[in-house]
C-alpha cells in the first residue's frame, strides 16, 4: 500500500462484487490495477491463474506484466492480455469444439491482402472493382453487421461447400466475401473479428467449456473500459457471470473510438446494468502541471454527456499554456520549429518533444520546414513494424515451420531466389487444387518431377523439414538466428546493402528475446506467432533523439514532457466530417486527450490558410472553449477574425443541434415564413437540416434551413 493515495487504496482493496473506477488522465490507474492484482495474490492468496486482467494494447499488457512481476516476485502473471490475446488463449485450449485444429493461424492485414490477391487472380478482379483497403473494410462490415452469424457457415460448411458458394458468387462483394471465408477455412485462419465471435460461439454451444472458464476466472479486471465495444461487452458479461467479480477502470472523457465500435454508455450506465455497483473516483493527477490541467478541465467542461469531474493537480506550478495563431501553415510550422530549437538550447532533448495533430496530412508542412531547419523527426505511423517486408518474410518462415500454410509458402518459397517462379508456382497450385492439398504438400509430392530440375526446391524442403522436426525443443531466439542464416535470407539483405532492413531484423530478434524473458510457460513458437499476429504497431523508433510526430489517436495512453498540438482550425480539429452533437463531443474528448498527454508544457497552434476543400480556416472552437485567462496568446487575435469565427462556429453548432434534435414541423404541417409567407412542409432533409416547403405564392418547392424564422400557421393566427 506504500505510495498509494486514498482513492487508489480504495480501488486496490475493493475486491468483491462490481467495482467501477472513474480514473482521470494521469491519475495512476495502471498503478492501481497492478497493485490490486498484487493485493489479490499476496494478501488474499488468489492464484494468478485465476485472475484475468484485460488491457487494450499489447504494449500496456507487457508493462502490466513487468509491474506485477516486480510486486509479486513470481513469473506466473495469470491472464494479462488484450481481449483478442485472451481469446487466442481460449481457442488454443478449446477450438476443437468447432472442429478446428489448435494450430490455427491468427491473420493480420498483410495475410488478408495475400488472400485477396489469390481471390482477385482466380476470379479476374482488379483494383478497379475494389481496392484491398475497401475490401478489408467491406469484409469487416459484413462480419460485424450485415452477416453477423457468418462464423456458423465457416464452422458448419465443409471446405468443398464453402468453395462452391465462392465459385457461385456473382456480385463483386459476394465473390470477395465468400472467397475470403473459403481461404480462411482452407488454412484454418482467424482474423480479429473471428477471435471473439468464435469464443462466444463456443461458449453458446458448450455449457461445460463456458462454465470451466467462468469458474477459472475468479476476478476480472478491465482497463480503458470506455473503449469497450459490443462484442467485448458480451464476452465480459459471460465471463463474470459465475463469480460476479468485475473491476473496471475508465474515463468517459477519453472515449475517442466510437467510430471503431466503442460505446460510452457501457461505462456511464455500468451502475444500471449491474447490481450494487461501487464507484470510486480517482482524480489526483500526477502527470501534468496545474496550468495544463486547468486548460484541459476548462475544455472538457463544455461537454454535456459525461460524469462531472475535475482533475486535481499534484505537481507544482509550471509554465503557462501558450496559444499561437499563424497566417499560414508554413508560418505555423516555422514557429513550432523555433520553439523547439529554443527548448533544445535550454537542454531539452528532442525526444522529449512531441507534435500531435488530428489528421496525417497536417504533417506535410511540418516535415518540409523541419528538413530545411535540420530538425530530426520521426513520424509514428506509416508502415507498421510487423507489416514490413523483411519482418513478414521472417515470420512467414517461422509460420511455415509450424503450419506449412499456403500464405507463408507463397511468400517465401522463392525468397531468396530458388528458381521457383510463376510457371512452377502455377504447376503447384494446379496440383494442390486437383488433389485437395496444401502447396507445401504439393511440392513434397512432386519434388522429383522434371519441372523442378535445376531449382533449389529440394533444399528448401529439407530446410523447412529440418526445422519442423526440432522447433519445439529449441528456444525461439536460437531458432530465428539459425533460420535467417541457413535460409540465406540475412545474407540476401547484406548483398542488397539494405542496412535499414538488417536493423529491423535486429529489432525483431530483440522482440523475440523480450518475449522469451516475459512469457513464462507460453514461451513456444506457436505462442510467439499468435502474439505477433495480434500486434498493431511496434513502430516505436526507441532510443532515437528526434522530435516525435503523431496523430492524437496514436498518442492515446502515452505521455510526453513537451507537447505541441497543431492544426487547431475549424474543419480540421474538429473535423469537418463532424455532423452530430455526439460526434462533436467526441472531437472535444479527443482534444482533451491531446491536452492531457503533456507533462511540463503545452503549446496550441493553428493557421488561417486554407482547408483542403478550399474553405477558410478559423481558429478551432476548442481554443475558444478554454477560458482565455488560462492561455497566453503570443499575439491578440484580430477582432474581425474573432467575430467571424464566433459567427461561423455558432452557425455550425445551430446546424448540428438542428440535425440532432426533433424537427418542430412534420410533412403536411402548415407554416408561415417571416418573409416568404404561408406554405406547407412537403418533406425534411436531415442531412442539410432543412425543410422542403411549397409556399402558396411560389410555383416550386424550396429547401429552407432550420435557421429561418418559421411559425406554425395556427400559432400565427
Q: Please state whether 382 falls in left (phi above 0), alpha (psi between -120 and 50) or beta.
A: left
Q: Look up residue 686 and give its DSSP letter.
A: T
23 in a known ligand binding site = yes
Note whether 116 and 132 are within 8 A (CB).
yes
Single out the catalytic residue among 20, 29, 287, 600.
29
Confirm whether 254 is a catalytic residue: yes
Phi first, then psi: give them for residue 622, nearest 5 degrees: -70, -20
**Other residues' Cβ atoms within 10 Å of the Cβ of residue 73:** 10
> Does 605 belong to an annotated binding site?
no
* 374 labeled binding residue: no
Q: Which of 10, 13, 30, 518 is catalytic?
A: 30
User: Does residue 218 carry a catalytic annotation?
Assistant: no
**Would the annotation count 614 as a binding residue?**
no
H/E element holding 406? helix 406-412
Active site residue 29: yes
Q: Which of 111, 224, 539, 586 is catalytic?
A: 224
Q: 65: annotated binding-site residue?
A: no
Q: Which residues of 564-594 are buried (b: 16+ CB within 10 A; e: fewer)?
A: bbbbbbbbbbbbeebbebebbbbbbbbbbbb
Catalytic residue among 223, 331, 526, 585: 223
Measured distance between the N- and C-terminal CA atoms of the chain, rounded to whole angstroms:
72
The yes-or-no answer on residue 339 being catalytic is no
Burial of 681 (0-12, 13-18, 19+ CB in 10 A): buried
Q: Cα 565 vs. chain centroid, distance in angstroms?
A: 21
**Residue 122 neighbours by CB distance under 10 Å:** 15
Continuous segment of H or E residues that includes residue 185: helix 172-186
CA–CA dist 486, 301 (Å, integer): 61
**Nearest C-alpha neighbor of 56 from the set 82, 93, 75:** 82
Q: Is 650 labelled a binding residue? A: no
Residue 600 region, left (φ>0) first, then alpha (ψ -120 to 50), else beta?
Answer: alpha
Annotate 245-297 with three-state secondary structure: CEEEEECHHHCCCHHHCCCCHHHHCHHHHCCCCEEEEECEECCCCHHHHHHHH
CB within 8 Å of 569: residues ≥ 6 apart? 606, 607, 608, 609, 611, 617, 618, 619, 620
Strands 710-712 and 246-250: unpaired
Where do the DSSP E strands lie in 496-559? 547-551
Q: In b/e form, how buried is each residue of 223-232, taking b as 16+ CB within 10 angstroms?
A: bbbbbbbebb
User: Cis peptide before 162, with omega less than 30 degrees from 0?
Assistant: no
* Catalytic site residue from 548, 597, 600, 617: 597
The CA-CA-CA angle for residues 277, 282, 288, to 5°, reads 155
Cα 228 from Cα 264, distance rounded (Å)? 8
Residue 409: closest CA among 440, 448, 441: 440
Q: What are phi and psi of 357, to 5 degrees?
A: -150, 160
> Minimal CA–CA distance to 85: which of 56, 116, 113?
56
Tell me the C-alpha to C-alpha distance, in Å, between residue 366 and each of 145, 344, 406, 708: 39, 18, 43, 42
Q: Confirm if 223 and 33 have CB atoms less than 8 A apart.
A: yes
Cβ 385 vs Cβ 537: under 8 Å: yes
Catalytic positions: 29-30, 223-224, 254, 597
Q: Annotated binding site: which residue ranges?
A: 23-30
Q: Annotated binding site for ATP: which residue ranges?
A: 23-30
Amino acid at each position: 500500500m506504500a505510495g498509494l493515495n486514498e482513492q487508489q487504496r480504495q480501488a486496490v482493496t475493493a475486491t468483491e462484487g462490481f467495482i467501477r473506477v472513474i480514473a482521470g488522465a494521469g491519475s495512476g490507474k495502471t498503478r492501481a490495477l497492478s497493485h490490486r492484482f498484487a493485493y489479490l495474490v499476496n494478501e488474499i492468496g488468489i492464484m494468478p491463474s485465476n485472475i484475468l486482467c484485460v488491457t487494450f494494447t499489447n504494449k500496456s499488457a507487457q508493462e502490466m506484466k513487468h509491474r506485477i512481476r516486480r510486486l509479486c516476485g513470481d513469473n506466473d502473471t495469470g491472464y494479462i492480455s488484450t481481449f483478442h490475446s485472451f481469446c487466442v488463449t481460449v481457442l488454443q485450449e478449446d477450438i476443437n469444439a468447432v472442429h478446428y485444429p489448435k494450430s490455427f493461424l491468427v491473420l493480420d492485414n498483410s495475410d488478408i491482402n495475400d488472400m485477396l490477391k489469390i481471390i482477385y487472380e482466380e476470379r479476374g478482379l482488379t483494383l478497379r472493382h475494389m481496392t484491398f483497403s475497401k475490401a478489408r473494410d467491406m469484409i469487416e462490415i459484413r462480419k460485424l453487421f450485415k452477416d453477423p452469424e457468418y462464423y456458423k457457415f465457416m464452422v458448419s460448411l465443409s471446405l468443398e461447400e464453402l468453395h462452391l458458394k465462392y465459385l457461385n458468387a456473382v456480385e463483386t462483394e459476394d465473390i470477395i466475401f465468400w472467397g475470403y471465408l473459403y481461404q480462411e477455412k482452407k488454412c484454418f485462419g482467424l482474423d480479429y473479428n473471428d477471435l471473439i465471435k468464435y469464443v462466444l460461439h463456443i461458449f453458446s454451444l458448450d455449457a461445460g467449456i463456458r462454465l470451466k472458464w467462468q469458474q477459472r476466472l475468479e476476478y476480472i479486471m478491465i482497463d480503458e473500459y470506455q473503449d469497450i465495444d459490443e462484442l467485448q461487452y458480451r464476452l465480459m458479461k459471460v465471463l463474470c457471470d459465475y463469480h460476479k467479480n468485475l473491476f473496471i477502470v475508465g474515463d468517459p472523457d477519453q472515449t475517442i473510438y466510437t467510430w471503431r465500435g466503442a460505446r460510452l454508455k457501457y461505462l456511464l450506465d455500468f451502475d444500471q446494468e449491474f447490481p450494487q455497483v461501487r464507484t470510486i473516483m480517482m482524480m489526483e493527477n500526477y502527470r501534468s502541471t496545474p496550468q495544463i490541467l486547468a486548460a484541459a478541465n476548462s475544455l472538457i467542461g463544455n461537454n454535456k454527456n459525461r460524469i462531472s469531474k475535475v482533475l486535481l493537480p499534484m505537481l507544482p506550478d509550471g509554465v503557462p499554456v501558450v496559444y499561437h495563431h499563424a497566417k499560414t501553415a508554413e508560418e505555423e510550422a516555422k514557429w513550432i520549429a523555433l520553439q523547439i530549437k529554443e527548448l533544445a538550447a535550454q537542454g531539452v532533448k528532442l525526444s522529449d518533444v512531441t507534435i500531435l495533430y488530428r489528421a496525417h496530412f497536417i504533417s506535410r508542412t511540418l516535415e518540409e520546414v523541419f528538413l530545411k531547419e535540420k530538425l530530426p523527426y520521426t513520424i509514428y505511423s506509416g508502415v507498421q513494424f510487423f507489416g514490413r517486408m523483411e519482418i513478414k518474410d521472417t515470420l512467414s518462415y517461422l509460420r511455415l515451420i509450424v503450419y506449412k500454410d499456403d500464405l507463408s509458402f507463397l511468400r517465401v518459397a522463392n525468397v531468396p531466389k530458388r528458381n521457383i517462379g510463376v510457371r512452377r508456382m502455377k504447376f503447384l497450385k494446379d496440383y494442390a487444387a486437383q488433389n485437395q492439398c496444401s502447396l507445401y504438400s504439393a511440392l513434397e509430392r512432386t519434388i522429383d518431377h522434371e519441372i523442378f530440375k535445376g531449382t533449389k526446391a529440394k533444399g528448401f524442403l529439407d530446410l523447412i523439414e529440418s526445422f519442423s522436426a526440432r522447433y519445439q525443443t529449441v528456444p525461439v531466439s536460437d531458432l530465428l538466428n539459425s533460420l535467417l542464416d541457413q535460409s540465406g535470407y540475412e545474407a540476401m539483405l547484406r548483398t542488397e546493402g539494405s542496412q535499414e532492413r538488417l536493423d529491423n531484423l535486429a529489432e525483431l530478434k530483440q522482440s523475440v528475446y523480450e518475449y522469451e524473458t516475459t512469457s513464462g510457460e507460453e514461451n513456444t513458437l506457436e505462442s510467439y506467432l499468435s502474439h505477433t499476429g495480434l500486434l498493431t504497431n511496434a513502430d516505436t523508433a526507441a532510443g532515437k533523439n528526434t522530435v516525435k510526430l503523431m496523430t492524437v489517436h496514436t498518442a492515446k495512453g502515452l505521455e510526453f514532457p513537451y507537447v505541441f498540438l497543431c492544426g487547431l482550425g475549424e474543419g480540421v480539429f474538429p473535423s469537418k466530417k463532424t455532423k452530430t452533437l455526439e460526434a462533436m463531443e467526441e472531437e472535444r474528448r479527443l482534444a482533451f486527450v491531446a491536452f492531457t498527454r503533456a507533462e511540463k508544457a503545452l503549446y496550441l497552434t493553428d493557421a488561417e490558410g486554407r482547408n483542403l476543400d478550399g474553405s477558410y480556416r478559423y481558429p478551432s472552437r476548442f481554443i475558444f472553449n478554454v477560458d482565455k485567462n488560462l492561455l497566453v496568446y503570443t499575439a491578440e487575435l484580430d477582432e474581425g477574425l474573432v467575430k467571424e469565427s464566433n459567427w461561423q462556429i455558432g452557425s455550425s453548432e445551430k446546424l448540428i443541434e438542428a440535425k440532432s434534435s426533433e424537427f418542430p414541423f412534420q410533412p403536411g404541417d402548415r407554416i408561415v415564413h417571416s418573409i416568404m409567407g404561408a406554405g406547407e412542409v412537403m418533406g425534411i432533409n436531415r442531412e442539410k437540416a432543412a425543410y422542403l416547403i411549397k409556399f402558396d405564392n411560389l410555383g416550386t418547392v424550396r429547401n429552407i434551413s432550420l435557421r429561418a424564422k418559421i411559425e406554425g400557421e395556427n400559432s400565427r393566427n
